[in-house]
Chain A
Amino acid sequence: MPARFYGTRRLRAVLRSFLPLATAAYVSGSLALPDPKVIVNSSVEVERISLNDARLLLTARLATWPDMSPVTVFVLPDDSPLHDDFARSVLQLFPYQLRRTWDRQLFSGTGRAPTVVRSEAEMLRQVEATPGAIGYVERIPEGVDVRELIVQ
């Protein structure tokens, strides 16, 4: 039931953005939603990454994979509930911290910002089609050629 999941995630995102941090853990725990999954293009040979590396990849501060092939990052819009949940529960960052890092790089010419896609469906399509791509989804549907990257 993706629609209901989406609704719950929005509720969780709204609660989290209004409540202090102490209650956020309680809110996420009580709703017992699975964390969003990090996905990569099938060309990427890495299977597990550290939290620090996940942050470096998603903030576009790490521009290449270990084999020196370029990284392409896809994200949902800043106000998307899934993006909010991904930032907080997977990267353990606030969405505005990601935006601040991207904008600083983008508007000083020292780095880049990720490509913003409009929906999870487009996210899956782009990550599947772009070598070196990384993104995130709620769940990985059958028949889509992307791999899950474990963040530990």
Chain B
Amino acid sequence: MNALAPILAMLCLLSWAGVEAADEGDLRVHGFAAIATVHTDENSFFGDSQDWSTDFFEAGLNASYRVNSRVMVAGQVLARRAGELYDGSPQIDYALANIGLWQGQNYATVLRLGRIKNPLGLYNETRDVPFTRPSIFLPQSVYFDETRNALLATDGATLAGEYRHAAGNIAFSVGVGRPQADENAEWTLLGADLPGRLDSDYDALMSAVSYRSPDEKLQLGLSRYDVSLNYEPAGAFDLPAGTLDLSLNIASARYDAGIWTATAEYLYLPQRRSGTGPFLPFTSANGESYYLQGELRLGPRVTLLGRFERGASDRSDRRGLAQSATTGGLIPPFDFFDRGLTAGLTFQLTQRFMLRSEYSRREGTYILSARENPPAGLQKDWHYFAVQAALRF
């Protein structure tokens, strides 16, 4: 919070002072900032939400520079506070060089080097920019907040290309590099912030392919991210060293019909753990989640949203009974699934300023962080209400 306050204040000041997105020849500078308040009747979601949390801030400042007709470099600093999970200290969100390789009438290819956002699903690449999301919170059982950093970006190289044809455009992206594991990944994947370190000594593999129809109304995509994280124990009283393999597979579909847009995404998430010893009950689980979403535009400024979500940490145990039993009932069955129904309203007041609110009813606590919610206090049925104000320049 302390680190974020000056950045947020600066962005607000710049925006209110009427500073335009800087556009000096080849250098461009843009930014955004958003603040939200969240209320839940039970459980904690993005802060101490049973008491109107204001612990959800997002602010970013980016610049891009076109070196020549083939090369563009770009970077963004992101400050994000999200309850107990992220403290708002500025991070390098991305920093990369885009190098145009082969380009022709019907195709283009580009090599990207640096910290590259993973193009997973429809939203991961720009998931922290409110103006690029349909709602305050992305569907959490597909876009988990708690393991977001491990899936957010890759430090390495990506090759991306696009092929245009009368039957539609095909785009692909393949990448390799290091993901960023953090203590939230430990909480989620190992159940606590343990003395040792969950690290990413292995390269992750990213691949994505998408199709757009010639009229650009239909978009279909498949994306996959394979990550191996390794646990380095801190001493004799820690877990033994082990590895955790995650594979994130997302199928996406979106149809734009003008006043309405329909979106659906499906996530299949197999996890395998080996070597970490007998204290961690689950050695493998196959997570499965999906959502169906409709957006209705009531004119250029107002959009309504409705969303139906389902998520389970293991598709062979959708009610969580078997998983709960292996913890001796310490973790309740409903912590292994999520069912959600969400309604949202967005006002795009001006090009720069947006107000949004949403209400969501949930059954199950799969989308909540153990870090904010000790298992003993979890409540199965809960809802949240949130309001967010966002500006950009």
Q: Which residue of chain B has its CB nearest to the CB of A24?
A: B258
Please measure, in the bound complex, the distance between the C-alpha atom of A137 and the C-alpha atom of B237, giving whole angstroms: 71
Q: Which residues from A are CB-within-8-Å of B169?
A: 52
Residues 106-155 (chain B) with a chain A CB within 8 angstroms: 108, 110, 112, 116-117, 119, 125-126, 129, 131-132
- Tell me if A69 counts as interface (CB < 8 A to partner B): yes
Category for how many chain B residues contact A: 35 or more
Contacts A93-B216, A115-B23 given; does A109 touch B96 at CB 8 Å: yes
Q: How many A-B residue pairs have CB under 8 A?
A: 103
Q: Does B300 contact A (CB under 8 A)?
A: yes
Cross-chain contact of B117 among A14, A18, A106, A108 (Cβ < 8 A): A108
Q: How far is the CA of A95 from the CA of B64 in the complex (A)?
A: 24
Dominant secondary structure of chain B at its interface with chain A: strand
Shortest Cβ distance from A78 into B: residue:
B351
The answer to whether the Cβ of A34 comes within 8 Å of any Cβ in the partner chain is no
CB proximity to A under 8 Å, residues B15-32:
21, 23, 28, 30, 32
The distance from the CB of B31 to the nearest CB of chain A, in whole angstroms, is 10
Contact with B along A14-29 (1 / 0, CB 8 A): 1001101100100000
- Tell me whether A109 and B117 are in contact (CB under 8 A): yes
Given A52-B164, A64-B103, A79-B301: A109 and B28 interface contact (C-beta under 8 Å) = no
Alpha-carbon distance A14/B301, docked complex (angstroms) = 11
- What's the Cα separation between A24 and B72 when bound, in Å? 39
- Bound-state CA distance A24–B94 (Å) is 41
A20-B258, A93-B216, A112-B28 given; A104·B100 CB < 8 A: no
* Chain B residues positioned under 8 Å from A55 (CB to CB): 216
| Contact-residue size bin, chain A (C-beta under 8 Å from the other chain) | 35 or more
Report A's interface with B, CB cutoff 8 A: 14, 17-18, 20-21, 24, 52, 55-56, 61-64, 68-70, 77-79, 84, 92-97, 100, 103-104, 106-113, 115-116
Supplied contacts A52-B164, A69-B69, A79-B350, 5 more A-B pairs, CB within 8 Å:
A24-B258, A63-B66, A96-B297, A97-B216, A112-B64
Can you pick out 26 interface pairs between chain A and chain B where the beta carbons lie within 8 Å of each other? A17-B299, A17-B300, A18-B299, A20-B258, A61-B162, A63-B100, A64-B69, A70-B66, A70-B69, A79-B300, A84-B300, A92-B216, A94-B258, A96-B297, A103-B126, A103-B132, A106-B30, A106-B62, A107-B30, A107-B60, A107-B132, A109-B62, A109-B64, A110-B98, A110-B160, A116-B351
